Each structure stands twice: as structure tokens, then as C-alpha cells.
């Protein structure tokens, strides 16, 4: 039943994404910042500090059903998620949203989505921080599903697209920042 809820939620998020594609492109388009070389007192150029950065990597093993399920910290609180590359945005269950301090009002649920179970509404939110082990992404766009309309929180592309690399193998999903 939880898997059905996940698929219904994924369909809802995809529908929101398709209906608002231009807006989402604008939200997800990032500016790549590069560190300029610094000049020492002697006038020589040194390598940027980012050259010494070690990439953080997380490996999520596939479940028996082939899904990638894990726990992340949303605003510092643990949340069970299903990693969903087909979801445009991170989609929080209503219950998870309330638990992490995101409490949308009834009037916030104004974005209509079509799902396999019929129409539903979601509330657009900005998530302060999502962390998975040593990887942290701040200011992540997301939605909150109406109470009872989503079985599990979906970790979608508004988080995944901001990573340096995402690689899927037969038995694991590797995230790298």
C-alpha cells in the first residue's frame, strides 16, 4: 500500500512539474560559482581553496524491490524517503512536513495535481536544509502533499540535481557532492 502511495505521489509531482515546467526550470537553474585564484604577497598565483576539497559521497543500496530507500535529515529531523529521479521536486508527506517544522495552512494547498487516485492539492514550500550523511543542500524547493495523499516522502530532483554527481548501478545509487 505504501508503494502505491509513493507512485501516486510521484505521479502528482510529475504532473505539477509538467504544468509548471517554465517556473521549475527557473527555480532549478543555478549559477556555478568558481573560486578565483588568490595572489600571495610575493605576487604569485596560488590554486583556489576548492582544489583541495574532497568530494562527499553516499552510497544507498537498492531494496529488495529495487527502490532506493534511506533516511535523510530535513531541517535537522530524520525522515524516511524514497529517492525518486522521476519526481521534479522533493515531496513531503503532510505528517513529515509537520514533524520537521513546516506546517502549511489549508489555504496553502492551492496547486492542483492529477494522480492515479484522482485530483489532489499540494502546497509549495522552501525547505531550509536536507542532509544525507555528509551531504547537505540548503534552500531546496519542495511541495507538501495533503494529509493522507502521499505514503512516503520523495527525494526528488530539486535536491538531486544540485549534487555534483548521481550514479545508479545495479545494486546502489551513489550520490556525490
pLDDT by residue, tens only, the chain of 177 residues: 444 444 444 444 444 444 444 443 433 333 333 333 333 333 434 444 444 455 799 999 999 999 999 999 999 999 999 999 989 999 999 999 999 999 999 999 999 977 656 688 999 999 999 999 999 999 999 999 999 889 999 999 999 999 999 999 889 999 999
Write down the architecture of domain 2-27+69-161 according to CATH: Beta Barrel (2.40)
Q: Position of cell 529488495?
A: 64
Q: Report pTM.
A: 0.70
Neighbours of 69 (CB within 10 A): 16
Domain range list for the chain: 2-27+69-161
Amino acid at each position: 500500500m505504501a508503494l502505491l502511495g509513493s507512485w501516486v505521489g510521484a505521479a502528482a509531482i510529475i504532473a505539477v512539474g509538467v504544468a509548471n515546467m517554465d517556473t521549475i526550470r527557473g527555480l532549478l537553474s543555478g549559477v556555478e560559482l568558481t573560486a578565483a585564484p588568490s595572489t600571495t604577497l610575493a605576487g604569485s598565483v596560488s590554486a583556489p581553496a576548492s582544489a583541495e576539497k574532497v568530494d562527499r559521497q553516499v552510497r544507498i543500496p537498492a531494496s529488495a524491490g529495487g527502490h532506493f530507500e534511506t533516511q535523510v535529515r530535513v531541517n535537522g529531523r530524520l525522515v524516511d524517503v524514497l529517492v525518486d529521479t522521476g519526481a521534479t521536486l522533493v515531496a513531503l508527506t503532510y505528517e513529515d512536513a509537520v514533524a520537521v517544522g513546516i506546517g502549511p495552512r489549508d489555504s496553502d494547498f492551492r496547486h492542483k495535481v492529477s494522480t492515479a487516485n484522482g485530483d489532489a492539492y499540494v502546497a509549495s514550500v522552501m525547505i531550509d536544509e536536507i542532509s544525507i550523511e555528509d551531504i547537505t543542500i540548503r534552500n531546496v524547493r519542495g511541495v507538501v502533499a495533503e494529509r493522507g495523499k502521499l505514503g512516503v516522502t520523495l527525494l526528488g530532483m530539486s535536491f538531486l540535481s544540485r549534487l555534483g554527481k548521481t550514479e545508479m548501478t545495479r545494486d546502489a545509487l551513489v550520490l556525490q557532492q
